[in-house]
Amino acid sequence: MRHKPPVDLSAQPKKLIERVERRLFLKRGLSLGALALLSGCEMTEDETVQRVLRSISEWNDGAQALLFSPTKLAPEYPESAITRPFPFNAYYGEDEVREVDGNAFRLELAGMIRDKKPWTLPELYALPQTSQVTRHICVEGWSAIGKWGGVRFSTFLERIGADTTAKYVGFKCADDYYTSIDMPTALHPQTLLTFTFADQLLPPQYGFPMKLRMPTKLGYKNPKHIMAIYVTNIFPSGYWEDQEGYKWFGGS
């Protein structure tokens, strides 16, 4: 018998571990394949797949911003085309609509704004008013035509000395909703800070005391019950974007 060279004992467990690891790897690989076969759904919920989808979604937001024209106007309709009753929509039921006290209300301003003095409703109503009859399009697919009246948002931003070179305008709402938009959309001529619906004071279910109306964006981007407006370069995201993963740009 040949003399055995001294065995490096530390190599033994290493080999063993490798073998076990290999077996585990094969086992896992098999179960992964089985899982994929079991149901396409489970594979599509895979973390990597979702990551890829989300990055394509971000790219889509960029494509949407490129497609957005600051001068192209959304079609307007005759008043006879208004949908009645106009559908109520929120992340809660109609019986949970927040009531805001108009007398005590002050619109708060923050961020890159020169004059942050809070605004009362009579002060806002005294700004030059305009109206539009446009189509509200929900991300779910349905649409409804409504008439909103208020001040052009670009006029308001100018009045408060907002830095319009900033990237975002953010909104905080009385119903704990929040969202934000890009500056080019904020300055679009049809983007209105509205106080009326169908020529009546905005009812609570449509967003009293005010709703930002943008016919160039999907419904969920149009905040109701606005309590505070801020201008920022830090991405503020939005309620449905954070809850469900809807696209942030949400342009029409």
Partner 1 sequence: MAQAGRYTGAGWVEVHPRLVRITHWVNVLCIVIMVMSGWRIYDASPLFNFEFPKSITMGAGLAGALLWHFAAMWLLAANALVYLCYGIASGHFRRKLFPVTPRAVMRDVLGALRGRLAHQDLSVYNAAQRAAYLAIIACIIVLIASGLSIWKPVQLQELTAFFGGYEAARRVHFFAMALLVFIVMVHVFMVAIVPRTFATMISGRARRFE
Stretches 19-27, 61-69, 111-119, 200-208: which one binds partner 1 (CB under 8 A)? 61-69
Please select the residue that binds partner 1; options are 129, 130, 143, 154, rule is CB under 8 A: 143
End-to-end CA distance of the chain: 85
| Those residues with Cβ within 8 angstroms of residue 138's Cβ, 6 or more apart along the chain or in another chain | 89, 218, 219, 220
Contact of 215 with 74, CB cutoff 8 Å: yes
67 binds partner 1 (CB under 8 A): yes
Stretches 168-176, 205-213, 227-235, 241-249: which one binds partner 1 (CB under 8 A)? 241-249
| Those residues with Cβ within 8 angstroms of residue 156's Cβ, 6 or more apart along the chain or in another chain | 127, 193
Give SS3 for 237: coil
> Which residue in this structure is represented by tokens 């006879």?
80
Stretches 29-37, 104-112, 137-145, 166-174: which one binds partner 1 (CB under 8 A)? 137-145
38 binds partner 1 (CB under 8 A): no
140 binds partner 1 (CB under 8 A): yes
Binding residues for partner 1 (CB under 8 A): 40-41, 44-45, 50, 52-54, 56-57, 60, 67-69, 72-75, 135, 137-143, 215-216, 240, 244-247, 251-252
